[in-house]
A and B are shown apart, each in its own frame.
Chain A
Amino acid sequence: MSSKREKMCLLVGTRKGSFVFTSGRNRKEWKVSGPHLKGHEVYHMAYDRRNGHILASMISNHWGPTIARSKDMGSEWKESKSPPKFPKSSGLSVARLWQIRPGSDDEPGVVYAGVEPACLFKSTDGGESWRVNEALMNHRTRKKWTPGGGGLCLHTILSNPRRPRRMHIAISSVGTLRTDDDGASWKFQNKDVLADFYPNKYPEFGQCVHKLASTPSRPDLIYHQNHCGVYRSDDAGENWVDIRNNLPSRFGFPVAADANDPKRAYVAPLEGDFSRIPPGGRFAVWGTDNSGKEWFQLDDGIPAVSYYTVLREGMVSDEEDPCGLYFGTTTGQLFASRNQGQNWAKVADGLPPILSVSVSSA
């Protein structure tokens, strides 16, 4: 692979296959290919910068969940020989594959996958075969874990380039966990995170984390969209600060961080748990440039009437400067901003319901 990355690729997973959008680094014009992986719900895709492969986690309603890889930007796909599978002794069976995440540059071939029922799998051969994380599978509290509305899913994997043995994961509705020993043990990190659907509002675990976001340059700074609030941690999840402040709602699903400015983050509020529509019927991304002390609405270019639903994996930021933002809706619109959300342009419309959006230079 050339170290000079001249393209951007925007990977869109939908309920009816996937689409690959590519552009120059200026992110002005996007070309699309697809649908790929027809007949599959594509929950997440990732571009692996180490080898130029695209990884996809997906499910066929008939033939079950699996992982596919493409070496040529989506033209041809090959399924894993041995996708994530629980040992028979566990009594568990993989129902869905959620996030798929390539490992760091110094561990070639390592790929992680989060699954439902919640667990983590690791591949050391680029996604061909997978091994369950036994510490998580056998966690002392596992029998008490309960699913959120989206199922008992491990939906977020945050690796830490500065501390390779550290990783954060997020499970709905169990909360955030961290390992500092490469997955040999996991510690809950839900201090001061509200779970007001329990009699004990601040339990050790059971928090309904919807999404976490960090950046490679500041991996210990984590933004957190929860069912019951928006939080920030400056110390790798040891402590969480409520940063809802002037947001129109504490509720939403996606959250994105700005790779160039740690004080910038982005969320997409919904009215609330029992009315999951954008406030006032207008979808907007809300951004902060001071670590969540204040938030401002970023909706220039988004229709005034936009009852969009953007799922937890449906909004991402790139690592360009200025930061680009992207969101895809369950009604098939794909929007992009090249300037931290100040203006939005529609990249595509009429796609199948969008489950996930991911972006990378390539």
Chain B
Amino acid sequence: MIRVLVTGQLKDLTAGAREVDVDFANDLDGVVQKLELAFPGIGRKIVDDQGRIRRYVNIFVNSENSRTLAGEKTRVKDGDVVHILPSVAGG
């Protein structure tokens, strides 16, 4: 099981839940696809039409920013914690 923590506007799409579980995925791309199946509309908030993580969205895997890993192809495994957060923009 992979635990996914969401915040901001994404919570509106998970019926207010801040934590949701994804049963299995190989990478973040798979996590987003599973989220989309469970909560239609959430995927396009996180990735663009080509499946790339949006510029001002950060996805952390066990507190490591996926941008410093392999982006949407970052591998995930059972027990990982994935944070999806809006990035700081401006300021």
Q: Is the CB of B48 within 8 A of A64?
A: yes
A66 nearest in chain B by CB position: B44
A66 to B89, CA, bound (A): 20
Q: How far is the CB of B84 from chain A (nearest CB, A)?
A: 11
Q: Is B26 engaged at the interface, CB distance under 8 Å to the other chain?
A: no
Q: Map CB proximity to B onto A191-211 as digits: 1 under 8 Å, 0 otherwise.
A: 000000000000000000000
| Cross-chain contact A81 with B48 (CB below 8 angstroms) | no
Nearest-Cβ distance from residue B87 to partner chain A, whole angstroms = 7
Chain A interface, DSSP helix/strand/loop, else mixed: loop
42-56 of chain B: CB within 8 A of chain A: 44-46, 48-52, 54, 56
A214 to chain B, nearest CB (A): 31
Chain A residues lying within 8 Å of B52, measured Cβ to Cβ, are: 93
Given contacts A81-B40, A83-B44, A85-B44, contact A63 B57 (CB under 8 A): yes
Task: Name the residue of chain A whose CB is nearest to the CB of B52.
Answer: A93
* Complex CA–CA separation, A205 to B41 (angstroms): 37
Given the interface pairs A60-B9, A62-B86, A64-B54, the reply to whether A93 lies near B45 with Cβ below 8 Å is: no
Contacting pair B49 A61 (CB below 8 A) = no
Q: Which of A63, A79, A81, A93 is packed against the most chain B CB atoms within 10 Å?
A: A63
In the assembly, what is the distance between CA of A79 and CA of B9, in Å?
A: 12
Question: Which residues on the A side are within 8 Å of B49 (C-beta)?
Answer: 85-88, 90, 92-94
Q: Is the CB of A62 within 8 A of B56?
A: yes
A91: Cβ under 8 A from any B Cβ: yes
| Neighbouring B residues of A81 by C-beta, 8 Å | 40-41
Residue of A nearest to B90 (CB): A61
Residue B16, interface by CB 8 Å = no
Closest to B58 in A: A62
Least CB separation from A95: chain B residue: B48
A86–B47 CA distance with the chains assembled, in angstroms:
13
Instruction: List residues of chain B with CB within 8 A of the CB of A64.
Output: 44-45, 48, 54
Given contacts A79-B41, A81-B40, A81-B41, contact A62 B48 (CB under 8 A): no
Residues of A within 8 Å of B, CB-based: how many? 19
**B contact residues, total (Cβ < 8 Å):** 19
| CB 8 Å contact bits of A63-93 with B (1 = contact, 0 = none) | 1101000000000000101010111101111
Binding site secondary structure of chain B? loop
Please, how many angstroms separate the alpha-carbon atoms of A90 and B52 in the complex?
14
| A contact residues vs B (CB 8 Å cutoff) | 39, 60-64, 66, 79, 81, 83, 85-88, 90-94
Within residues 27 to 46 of chain B, which ones have a CB less than 8 A from any CB in chain A?
40-41, 44-46
In the complex, the answer to whether A93 meets B57 with C-beta atoms within 8 Å is no
> Assuming A88-B50, A88-B51, A91-B50, is B41 touching A61 (CB within 8 A)?
no
Q: How far is the CB of B60 from chain A (nearest CB, A)?
A: 15
Query: Could you say which residues of chain B place their CB within 8 Å of the CB of A66?
Result: 44
Closest 8 CB pairs of A and B: A93-B49, A63-B45, A93-B48, A62-B86, A62-B56, A86-B49, A85-B49, A93-B50
- CB nearest neighbor in A for B54: A64
Is A62 a contact partner of B89 (Cβ separation < 8 A)?
A: yes
A62 touches B87 (CB 8 A): yes
Contacts of B89 in A (CB 8 A): 61-62
Instruction: Tell me which residues across on chain B come within 8 A of A60, comparing CB atoms.
Output: 9
- A61 and B45 alpha carbons, distance in the complex (Å): 10
- In the complex, the answer to whether A61 meets B51 with C-beta atoms within 8 Å is no
Among A66, A81, A93, A94, chain B packs the most CB atoms within 10 A around the CB of A93
CB distance from A76 to the nearest CB of B (A): 13
Q: List 19 A–B pairs whose Cβ atoms lie within 8 Å, in order of A's numbering.
A: A61-B56, A62-B8, A62-B9, A62-B56, A63-B45, A63-B54, A63-B86, A64-B44, A64-B48, A66-B44, A81-B40, A81-B41, A86-B49, A87-B49, A88-B50, A91-B50, A92-B49, A93-B48, A94-B49
